[in-house]
Structure 1
Amino acid sequence: MGRSIDDHRVAFDFEIAFSNGGGIKGWDFRLDIDGTDISDTALADYIVQDLRLLMVGSVKILNKRIFQERHKRAAGHSPSGEGEGGATLVDLSHAVRDGQTTYPGLPALAITDHLSHLGSHGRYADGVSFQIGRIDMVANSGTAIDAPYHRFPGMADVAELPLSHIADLAGLVVRLGGMTGRAVTRQALLPALGDVAGSAVLIETGWSRRWETPGYFVDHPFLTQDAVELLRDRQVALVGIDSLNIDDTGDPDRPAHSILLAAGIPIVENLTNLGDLPTRGFHFSAVPMRAVGMGAFPVRAWARLAKDRV
């Protein structure tokens, strides 16, 4: 069924000035909106993003009017960005907080104010305050990526990871929730893989549901040596898992880290929400700060779903 006449749209003029000179103007521009109103700021943000504009200096919204009219775009593409049904990005990272331990035996995170809003009073104009945070953590905290330097001296650190290996990769989820035992073997992966060259392969075990419980650290799923040899031989770009570690932490040889990182294949651990993704039809990103000399670093990992999967 189509949308009812209760749908609302907005018509407006706009003027955009670019920071490097020049500009563009539009008259009687029309967009679908959720609800019965939308702010000038939301409209300006939408225009910049939808037109993929760069070096925008300012945006003016003029002569705005809201009216009832059936929506023109498919559902889920409102400029207001409201409503989970319209989302095309899925967050795959755990939130981290002060005092949290994300790996047994390593220090907990310490998140504090270097400068608080209250402490900044008097430094700026009346009513203007800022917060500058400080965080003390080990580099494997939260959802994190391992670069080859994490395992091998002299190999690439997180600052040297190519964007082509960590951002906007075609993705595949291997669904293993409810599996018997802890070990993810070659035989477990084979039926799901197909052509995965240049792709991110994400292993969903369901273990992320135990996050922030003592059970997360005990008897977690891991990949066996023959499983990671298969992934290496299939020339994947990245491997991720929703578990504490891609290796059995009781095995001092650490074959999964050794084989993948020797081949220049980054590893992302402590993923979450993999159950919210389709098996295929998405692109995966896990991007760390470009920190020189770090073998691992926290990431904000996400998936961008193809339009026909939203």
Structure 2
Amino acid sequence: MTRLVELSHRITEGMITYPGVPGPRLGVHLSREDSREVYAPGTEFHIGSVELVANTGTYLDTPYHRYPQGPDLAGMPLESLADLPGLVVRAEGAPSVGLDRLAGLDVRGRAVLLHTGWDRHFGTEAYFHGHPYLEPEAARWLAERGPALVGIDSLNIDDTPPRGERPAHTLLLAAGIPIVEHMTGLAALPGSGFRLHAAPPLLAGLGTFPVRAYAVVDG
């Protein structure tokens, strides 16, 4: 018996994911009423429209986000984004995730999800200030050990001073390891024994995009 666990935030009109990034605009390209003029009597459809910045909601960062020669969304193999064996690193209440949380873990080929509990603030002003992040030394340790993907349920995987160097992005994406930020629901996952799916649309020329991330939990 398996169960599915939702790991993405819902995208709604005007929601703010990151300070300075405009919220999405959800509209209608063809209303049901107008479609009645296009289709046969008794047949109607709704076709919506979406305008959003790629860094909205729970989203995937590919190497192209940081490096112009790195693979973009369309260049990422499914093997890096779907049906990945998962591992949760517990750091709820900690100001950052350091090497002490990772020591001794077998991360190679796994989706390593950093559970900080910060998702409880999503949608509030508190979410934008003092968020947990992955320490540079821990990011380097991960980049050297080849996880398939690294995710976090926080505002950013890096500390976010105004002009920061973003070492976690720099190290992980240079190693070809995609990142999923603004995750949620990690508290509902076991430490291991689940498979992660976090594939975006097959878009060329973009480095980031929202994903419907979810886990399939065994037993």
Deviation at 1:278, TM superposition (A): 0.7
Number of aligned positions between the proteins: 218
Matches within 5 A, 1:124-273: 124-179=39-94, 182-190=95-103, 194-250=105-161, 252-273=164-185
Alpha-carbon separation, structure 2, partners of 1:177 and 1:154:
35
Alpha-carbon separation, structure 1, partners of 2:90 and 2:33:
48
Aligned to 2:30: 115
Please give the secondary structure, in 2, of the residue aligned with 1:256.
Answer: helix
Deviation at 1:188, TM superposition (A): 2.6
**One-letter amino acid matched to 1:267:** I
Deviation at 1:297, TM superposition (A): 0.6
Whether 2:217 is the aligned partner of 1:297: answer no
Deviation at 1:178, TM superposition (A): 2.0
Deviation at 1:195, TM superposition (A): 1.4
Sequence identity percentage: 50
Alpha-carbon separation, structure 2, partners of 1:246 and 1:292:
24
Alpha-carbon separation, structure 1, partners of 2:44 and 2:160:
46
Alpha-carbon separation, structure 1, partners of 2:97 and 2:192:
20
Report runs of 4+ in structure 1 exceeding 6 Å deviation.
Answer: none
TM-score by length of 1: 0.68
**One-letter amino acid matched to 1:128:** T
Whether 2:14 is the aligned partner of 1:94: answer no
**One-letter amino acid matched to 2:185:** N
TM-score by length of 2: 0.96
1:280 to 192, 201, 211: 192
Deviation at 1:284, TM superposition (A): 0.4
Q: Deviations over 1:82-106 (max 9, x none)?
A: xxxxx62111010011111111101
Alpha-carbon separation, structure 1, partners of 2:97 and 2:106:
19
Point out which structure has higher relative CO (alpha carbons under 8 A, 6+ apart).
Answer: 2
Deviation at 1:128, TM superposition (A): 1.4
Alpha-carbon separation, structure 2, partners of 1:262 and 1:98:
34
Deviation at 1:122, TM superposition (A): 2.2
Unaligned runs of 5+ in 1: 1-75, 77-86
Deviation at 1:218, TM superposition (A): 1.0
Task: Please state which structure has a larger fraction of its residues in strand.
Answer: 1
Aligned to 1:62: none
Deviation at 1:217, TM superposition (A): 1.0
**One-letter amino acid matched to 1:301:** A
Q: Deviations over 1:53-108 (max 9, x none)?
A: xxxxxxxxxxxxxxxxxxxxxxx6xxxxxxxxxx6211101001111111110111
Aligned to 1:56: none
Please give the secondary structure, in 1, of the residue aligned with 2:26.
Answer: strand
Q: Deviations over 1:123-168 (max 9, x none)?
A: 1122211111111111010000000000011111011111111100
Is the 2:86–2:192 Cα contact (8 Å) retained in structure 1? yes
Alpha-carbon separation, structure 2, partners of 1:170 and 1:284:
6
Please give the secondary structure, in 2, of the residue aligned with 1:118.
Answer: helix
Unaligned runs of 5+ in 2: none
Alpha-carbon separation, structure 1, partners of 2:167 and 2:93:
24
Matches within 5 A, 1:74-93: 88-93=3-8
| RMSD, matched Cα | 1.2
Higher gyration radius (CA):
1
Is the 2:90–2:101 Cα contact (8 Å) retained in structure 1? no
